[in-house]
Amino acid sequence: MSYAEFYRRSIETPEAFWAEQAELIDWKTPPSQILDTTRAPFVNWFAGGTTNLCHNAVDRHLAARGDQPALIAVSTETGTERSYSFKELHAEVQRVAASLMELGVGKGDRVLIYMPMIPEAAFTMLACARLGAIHCVVFGGFASASLASRIEDATPKVVVSADAGSRGGKVIAYKPLLDEAIRLSTHKPDAVLLFDRGLAPMDLSKGRDHLAAPLVEKHRDAQVPCTWMDATDISYTIYTSGTTGRPKGVQRDTGGYAVALAASMKHIFDGRAGETYFSTSDIGWVVGHSYIVYGPLIAGMATLMYEGLPTQGLDRQPDGGIWWRLVEKYKVTVMFSAPTAVRVLKKQDPALLKKYDLSSLRALFLAGEPLDEPTARWISEGLGVPIIDNYWQTESGWPILTVANGVETTRSKFGSPGVPMYGYKVKILHESTGEELTAPNEKGVVVIEGPTPPGFMQTVWRDDERFVNTYWKTVPGKLVYSTFDWGIRDEDGYYYILGRTDDVINVAGHRLGTREIEESISGHAKVAEVAVVGVADALKGQVAMAFVVPKDGAVLGDAQAALALEGEVMKQVADQLGALARPARVHFVGALPKTRSGKLLRRAIQAVCEGRDPGDLTTIEDPGALQQIRQTLSPRG
């Protein structure tokens, strides 16, 4: 079947289409109603059906592949590797589930998980799913105030954490951060379960804090059956990054999510049971939920869980080829990473891409930031496998735009994440009139018409009104879901994302997208990375400021070379986008500030440029990067 026909069926006959996809998972009770849209924009999928995420990820594979690898945990921070078979994973999950039960956790209770990238974090997520508890994972090492606001909103019965995480050899003690967060929160959890890695000392609060090791050992032979959940029951909540004020918890269902992941593993990622999937993300982000823990396991694949830098070996020495070494060792067939991580690897010896046997790898998927053409071309030529961009959000749970090579082999276009995935009615609308823009390359807001497909967010946790007002009422006269991204669609139906609708700057009355300026600059042969932000200006309202990491580091210490390169970059932008788009300044730095998941902290850069507080930088990879930006601004303002 062609992808065009596959997609058309999903849009025109969604009930029949998704009833077929629902056969990819196990149901205790089959659904009695595939789709319910009586409360649009709220959607119920697979009502009447009962299932369990943990059963589909673990238990159902025991008979056919119980001894095959299920979870491979690699830490270059501690120099450890451990592989768990499906049988071993089943046992570990039941031990943690029994421990949580002893602490009073049952169906519908919230469990907040604040942990590093260690196997116990995955055990805990799966244990919650097994019990029917709602897990809420918060990125490990998040600042106390941010963590407190999430504890307050999620109201967890139990918090599960660890003594510490580690990044680049630097230990980050979690327990003091957690203690302060609980002190700040008006909600107090009944209990805290702590996994001790031996990285940092912990002060235990008597009556509240429990070390995991003795509890888990006590339940070594535990048999904890799966709690069968209604398809529409909540599986988890996850807070979107960059929220201000009260946190915004994205709420996900159980049955729809299981079906969506099973379908995406088959149709998008072409993942096959018995193979190995490697996502370099973190469980604190939605990619970690969907494509480290649940998706690969539901598909019967081994999932590789990685703690460490992309440039650090198991001996804790620099190694820019560590990921490729792991691809070779574990015969990874599908890999998922971020464009920013690839840009980091671009600075390494290109021979590392040829050093290892990567013949098992069928494709590298990239998401999280727009993928510029030079980066895509570099990694494509280096690896010799398809580089598949994909665009989605915490809210969607799985890709909105990409190509579905599991349905029909489809060419990717550099610079484009692809075409709408099955179930997504994607359109481009005029921001002011709500009119649909159908001509090629017309720029508008990317929206999704309801009903949203399975796996999409149900609502905002405990705030239906906020869900409707935030996402569905931003385009005049239309009840559509706004992605808050600008986009265009070319003559072949491929979409291009041009940046956030709030990343538009207004220069002397002209609206310019910072993403378009970045794309122009990144095409310069001497540029490795770039971030463009709008900075307040008394005369023009705003001006564009560019921060560039040059490929040749010598530029940083050579004022004449920097001035020459700045001129070249300015001219390139003016030639491609017009003089108005030319940045006010191009500053050269050795690194750009990013989160540990690879997202550029553009708002923090903007704040520094405007002399404001950059806010919570707990998840910043390299705090020195912001200091570099401060220093480049000081000599000439």
Are 586 and 532 within 8 A, CB to CB? no
Task: Give the whole-number percent of the chain exceeding pLDDT 90.
Answer: 76
User: How confident is the model at residue 635, as a pLDDT?
Assistant: 54
Give the helix ranges, DSSP H, for 185-283. Answer: 212-218, 255-267
Give the number of other CB atoms < 10 A from CB of residue 579.
Answer: 9
Q: What is the 3-state secondary structure (H, E, C) of 410-459?
A: CCCCCCCCEEECCCCEEEEECCCCCCECCCCCCCEEEEEECCCCCCCCCE
Q: Coil, strand, or helix at residue 119?
A: helix
Q: Which of 27-31, 509-513, 522-526 has the highest mean pLDDT?
A: 27-31
Residue 47 has pLDDT above 80, yes or no: yes
User: How confident is the model at residue 366, as a pLDDT?
Assistant: 96
User: How confident is the model at residue 372, as a pLDDT?
Assistant: 80
Q: What are the structure tokens assigned to 408, written together? A: 């029909």
Residue 614 pLDDT grade (very low, low, confident, very high; cuts 50, 70, 90): confident
User: How confident is the model at residue 615, as a pLDDT?
Assistant: 72
In what helix (H) or strand (E) does residue 408 lie, and over which residues does it extend? none
Task: Give the whole-number percent of the chain exceeding pLDDT 70.
Answer: 97
Give per-residue pLDDT as tens, 271-283: 999 999 999 999 9
Give per-residue pLDDT as tens, 388-402: 999 999 999 999 999
Residue 637 has pLDDT above 50, yes or no: no
Q: Coil, strand, or helix at residue 326?
A: helix
Average pLDDT over residues 621-632: 85
Give CA–CA dist 91/95, Å, rounded: 6
Give CA–CA dist 367/389, Å, rounded: 6
Average pLDDT over residues 376-392: 93
More confident residue, 502 or 34: 34
Give the number of other CB atoms < 10 A from CB of residue 440.
Answer: 12
Average pLDDT over residues 547-559: 93
Q: Which domains, ranges and CATH numbers included, belong to the chain?
A: 3-472 (3.40.50.12780), 508-633 (3.30.300.30)
Give me the phi and psi of 51, to 5 degrees please: -160, -175
User: How confident is the model at residue 476, as a pLDDT?
Assistant: 86
Q: What are the structure tokens assigned to 511, written together? A: 């609206």
Q: What are the structure tokens assigned to 94, written together? A: 């039941």
Average pLDDT over residues 609-635: 80
Between strands 444-449 and 425-429, the pairing is antiparallel
Q: List the beta bridge partners of residue 401.
A: 391, 420
More confident residue, 22 or 606: 22
Q: What are the structure tokens assigned to 145, written together? A: 């105030």
Residue 259 pLDDT grade (very low, low, confident, very high; cuts 50, 70, 90): very high
Give CA–CA dist 419/400, Å, rounded: 8
Residue 90 has pLDDT above 50, yes or no: yes
What is the average pLDDT score of the chain?
A: 93
- pTM for the model: 0.86
In what helix (H) or strand (E) does residue 381 lie, and over which residues does it extend? helix 373-383
Residue 578 has pLDDT above 80, yes or no: no
Give per-residue pLDDT as tens, 222-247: 999 999 999 999 999 999 854 345 78
Give per-residue pLDDT as tens, 305-343: 999 999 999 988 889 999 999 999 999 999 999 888 888
Give CA–CA dist 537/509, Å, rounded: 12
User: How confident is the model at residue 509, as a pLDDT?
Assistant: 58
Average pLDDT over residues 166-172: 92
User: How confident is the model at residue 539, as a pLDDT?
Assistant: 73
Residue 92 has pLDDT above 50, yes or no: yes
Q: Is 464 exposed, middle or buried (0-12, 13-18, 19+ CB in 10 A)?
A: middle
Average pLDDT over residues 514-519: 83
| DSSP code of residue 470 | I
